[in-house]
Structure 1
Amino acid sequence: MKAGRAAPASGARPVYSEGYKTLVLILLVVAYTFNFIDRTIIATIGQKIKEDLHLTDTQLGMLGGLFFALLYTFLGIPLARLAERFSRVNIIAVAIVIWSGFTALCGTAASFTTLALFRFGVGVGEAGLSPPAHSLISDYYAPKRRASALAIYSFGIPLGSMLGAIIGGQLVEHFTWRTAFMVVGLPGLAVALAIKLLIKEPPRGHSEPEAAPALAEDVVPDEPARPPATLWGELTEMGAVFKTLFLKWPVFNMVMGVTLVSMGGYGAGQFVPPYFIRTFHLSYGTVGLITGLAAGIGQGIGTLAGGFLTDRLAKAGARWYALVPAIGITIAYPILWMVFTAASWKTAAVLIILPGIFSYTYLGPTFGVIQNMVPTRRRATATALLFFFLNLVGLGGGPMITGWVIDHFAAFHYAHPDLQGLGSAISGFFAADPHAFQAACPGGLAPKGAGAAAASACGGALSLATRQGILVAYALGLWAAVHYLLASFGLKGAMAKARAERGEAD
């Protein structure tokens, strides 16, 4: 396609081959994969960072969540508004360059403060990917294939999490955590270049049902002139999207569902690799392989199955957009309980693959509903507003709060080694003193020169606390399942009304 070649007829649409659409989707999946490699690698190498920089689990959670999520969250909406008016391809390419560079810089951090600043930078770049990517995918794929396409794009989450865990584990075991950041960050620059050169910017609303004539694939139609941007106009657009997401009962419950399950998943996920290291004393390479395969196989199957299963079941009723996640998440939690109470690491390693198959069914259906509920020129904004909410609460709060809970549980169990039950830890939560535990066990380890008893006391308290903190975090999924169930009531009517407002046929 030659940029600048105009359509011969006003309102005509180019025809993109299935092969080209597949190429676009693959490139966006690759970008999202690197997005999650760079975002989540800190979970795998976090235990080594904690020991090296003498961090608490609250600080480790802040590095994995809050410090990344703040600018990631607040910049998402402005970048999405830019994506509604300017080239989405260019925005994505620049975003990849920014987050890849800051990921590499994380390897130069000498303190908690500098590492936190670089994680802010990673968040700035990563904010520019998903809103324009969701909008692009929705313009390349028709409504009835949109959940499947978005599920395939979302496959970058488990794929990136898997590769980040496996690669990060091997690098930190054989080199250092600093090397790990640099090695995974720099290749993103090549991905940015490929996207800039190979992805074409489609006209807005290209795949919506309409009567416009089709053009050859290498023709770029002239889009309608955009009205000049004004503050009032932008606020009006934002208000309209906010009303759709938060004032329509079924959609609000979908938003609450994805937020809560993300909060539990991000929170627990930050400490799953440390759990295997603290409890079973496994090597970083082994832990990376365990958690990586769990993400790649379990979460990957769940992500794809959720989208394709929903597209099939939704033919019988739109309520399945909500019921598929509700059922999947409910099935997952008992399995998670078995994983983190298993006495053998081998048992836990086998079982940990299963929960993701069920719980990750929420991604495709949720994003499909959001994209189908708004007009074409508000889709990037809808994605950004959704991500604003779920990332501020889920990603920003989940790891930090889970780390805070683990710090308190560890302090309690260190002070009361005879009281090991979760109920006891919860009842004594606020009486525990995490600062005393950090002083006695800096970085979760007994001071150098301390005896075996001190090492056992520090390690035992932290191991038990990590298990219990993870189980508490994952329990948020059950709350999320309730919201998905509530969303199933009225979702069919809400989606039908949205289609009618856009002038689309059922």
Structure 2
Amino acid sequence: MTSRLYPYYVVACLMLASALSFLDRLVLALLIDPIRADLALSDSEVSLLVGAAFATCYVGFAFVFGRWVDLHGRRNAVVVGITLWSLATAACGLANSFGKMFAARAAVGVGEASLNPAAYSMIADYFPTERRGVAMAIYACGASMGGGLAILLGGLVVQWAMDTRPCLPLMCGAEPWQIVFVVIGLPGVLVALLFALTVREPPRRYAPSEAEHPPTYGEIWQHLRRNARVFLPMFTGYAFLAVSGYAFSVWGPAYFMRLHGLSPAAVGLLFGIGYGGFGTLGVLLGGMICDRLHRIDAPVVVTIGAIILQAPLFIAAYLLGSTMLAIISFVGGMFAASMVAGMQAAMVQSLSPSRMRGMMAALYGTVVTIAGLGIAPTVTALLSDHLFDGPMGIGKALAVTTAGALALAMILIVAGRAGAAALATRLQGAQPDGA
């Protein structure tokens, strides 16, 4: 493989890892009702499995892996992470109580905390600034493809397991949802092996004025403190975008099954086409627009446009009585929302010195995960349980969560735009030619 093509091969491997992580993370959304019935849980308790169990450990270990990324090899961090989250996903299939499921989901969070800090840092070192938009969009396709694949494959596997009641080794008599976790989790070990054998650690790109050694915690804190007027609105604004995104990822399947009567297989097809197909097109379009704008604040400009497009589409999808119109609006919303996927990574890179990218990605991932998985599923479930008459009120709960989150995201990102552009310009000016 030529040296010119190899960086794209690495991005493709990282995209595969990202797709796998979202597959393992989001397949639970398709299994909410059978798990809720078998383990006798409420929507609020299920939301803890979807969100808090995963998010707590993801947040805690993001900084561990972020520091590892800045100090040591990034490839090995990814290999360890993929192996751990894949085995933990399979372990979800062995759980027969809330406590065991909570522990397995927590282990998935530990493993997945490795990926973004390592990927953000590796891609920034493999690609110069002017080509990072598309590179990050390709990586971000893993989220849309993985999310769509999770629901598509999950729907098919659930239907297969329900129809055939297969007897897997050591799992005869297991419930269909338990089989889904095992079948989806174990292949990830092969992806970890592929990464270990074929991906090389890239040399780090340092600015001329930048010391070629990992930053101390004091230096990271000083960078954050000096630029607090940039990081606070930008990171918080993107976090509210995550609230909207995880709300539809977690509760969207249940909404279409409960209120529109779709089967798991039909929901799988809807998400496979909408999230995996149109979502992936949205990610790539966002990356191409970003690179063609030739503006230092291009990621933020694309993000603002995506918010304006997605807000009315999602709200309409959750409130429309017509199944067909709800599906069309939902798919359109996923397309617009996915345009942001590569932009958030490009934004973090542009606001971070090279030697701090691992820790800055960990910090960003922490903020977004707390909001997206730690808050969004539970807030939506609480609204449904206590304000909108229980499980059948999930559509209204989704509409309220989405409207509030996107409004706050728009206000904060617009407020931080000028400061972010100034900081990115200052950091880019310190980069060597071609970096």
Alignment TM-score, normalising by the size of structure 2: 0.91
Q: Of residues 333, 338, 350 in structure 1, which corresponds to 2:316?
A: 338
For 1:57-68, list aligned pairs within 5 A.
Answer: 57-68=43-54
Alignment check: 8 A CA contact 1:237 1:378 kept: no
User: Does the residue aligned with 1:340 lie in a helix, a strand or coil?
Assistant: helix
Deviation, structure 1 residue 341: 2.1
2:142 aligned to which of 153, 156, 159: 156
Aligned counterparts of 2:402 and 2:340: Cα–Cα separation in 1: 15
- 1:283 equivalenced with 2:263 (yes/no): yes
Q: In the alignment, what sits opposite 2:9?
A: 23
3-state SS of paired residue (2:5)? helix
The alignment yields a C-alpha RMSD, in angstroms, of 2.2
Among 208, 211, 220, the residue aligned to 1:238: 220
The residue that corresponds to 2:172 in the other structure is: none
Amino acid at match of 2:32: G
> Which of 272, 291, 305 is 1:311 aligned to?
291
- Alpha-carbon offset, residue 209 of structure 1: 7.6
Q: How many residues align?
A: 419
8 Å CA contact retained: 2:43, 2:391: no
Give the equivalent residue in structure 1 for 2:170.
Answer: none
What's the offset of the Cα at 1:93? 0.4
Partners of 1:299 and 1:243 in 2: how far apart? 36
Is the contact made by 2:319 and 2:396 (CA closer than 8 Å) also made in structure 1? no
CA distance in 2, matches of 1:111, 1:496: 52
CA spacing shift, 1:504–1:240, aligned 2, 3 Å: farther
Partner Cα distance (2:9, 2:431) in 1:
29
Write the mapping of 1:115-154 to structure 2, written as runs, cut at 5 A: 115-154=101-140
Post-superposition CA distance 1:47-80 (Å, at most 9, x none)? 2111221211111111111110101011101211
For residues 368 and 202 of structure 1, do their structure 2 counterparts lie closer, same or farther at Cα, with a shift above 3 Å needed?
Answer: same
Q: Secondary structure at the match of 2:203?
A: coil
Distance 1:148 1:164 in 2: 24
Q: State which drifts further: 118-127 or 289-298.
A: 289-298
Cα deviation code 1:149-203 (max 9, x no counterpart)? 1111011001000110011112222211101100110010000000001011111
Q: If you compute each CA radius of gyration, which structure gives the higher value, 1 or 2?
A: 1
Q: Given residue 128 of structure 1, which amino acid in structure 2 is its aligned partner?
A: S
AA aligned to 1:260 is: F
Partner of 1:483: 412
Equivalences for residues 16-55 of structure 1 within 5 A: 17-55=3-41
Partner of residue 72, structure 1: 58
**What do residues 346-394 of structure 1 show as CA deviations (whole Å, max 9, x unaligned)?**
3322332111222222222222121122221111111111011111222
Counting only pairs closer than 5 Å after superposition, residues 347-386 of structure 1 correspond to structure 2 as: 347-386=325-364
Equivalent pair of 1:327/1:481 in contact (CA under 8 Å): no
Distance 1:303 1:253 in 2: 23
Percent identical pairs in the alignment equals: 29
- CA drift of 1:269 comes to 2.4
Q: Report the Cα distance in structure 1 between the residues aligned to 2:268 and 2:179, rounded to whole angstroms.
A: 16
Deviation at 1:504, TM superposition (A): 6.0
Does residue 100 of structure 1 match 2:86?
yes
- Check conservation: 1:268, 1:402, Cα contact below 8 A: no
Compared CA separation, residues 362 and 241, structure 1 to 2 (3 A): farther
Structure 2, unpaired ranges of 5+:
162-175
1:453-481 deviation digits (Å, cap 9, x = unpaired): xxxxxxxx522x10111101211112212
CA distance 1:304–1:498, change in 2 (3 Å):
same
1:474 matched to which residue of 2?
A: 402
Tell me, in whole angstroms, the C-alpha distance in 2 between the residues paired with 1:143 and 1:240. Answer: 24
Instruction: Tell whether the 8 Å contact from 1:161 to 1:295 is kept in structure 2 after alignment.
Output: yes
Change in CA separation of 1:19 and 1:320 when aligned onto 2, cut-off 3 Å: closer
Matched, 1:195 2:195: yes
Deviation string 1:302-361 (CA, Å, 9 cap, x unpaired) is: 222112211211x1x323321211121122111112212222323322332111222222
Normalising by structure 1, we get a TM-score of 0.79
2: CA distance, partners of 1:189 / 1:351:
37
Tell me how far apart the structure 1 counterparts of residues 289 and 319 of structure 2 sit (CA, whole Å): 31
Structure-1 residue corresponding to 2:184: 184
| Counterpart secondary structure, 1:155 | helix
Q: Distance in 2 between matches of 1:502 and 1:248?
A: 22
Unmatched 5+ residue regions in structure 1? 2-15, 211-222, 228-232, 414-460
Structure 2 SS opposite 1:18: coil
Distance 1:320 1:486, change over 3 A: farther
- Is the CA contact 1:33–1:156 (under 8 Å) kept in the aligned structure 2? yes
CA contact (8 A) 1:263 1:397 kept: yes
Work out the CA distance in 2 between the residues paired with 1:99 and 1:328: 31
Of the candidates 420, 424, 427, which is equivalent to residue 495 of structure 1?
Answer: 424
Letter matched to residue 236 of structure 1 = G
Residue 255 of structure 1 pairs with residue 235 of structure 2: yes
Q: C-alpha separation between the residues in 2 aligned to 1:309 and 1:251?
A: 24
Residues 188-237 of structure 1 deviation map (CA, whole Å, 9 limit, x = unaligned): 000000000101111111xx687xxxxxxxxxxxx97x58xxxxx64214
Task: Give, in whole Å, the separation in 2 of the partners of 1:318 and 1:65.
Answer: 34
Q: Name the SS for the 2:284 alignment partner.
A: helix
- If each structure's helix is expressed as a fraction of its own residues, which one has the higher value? 2
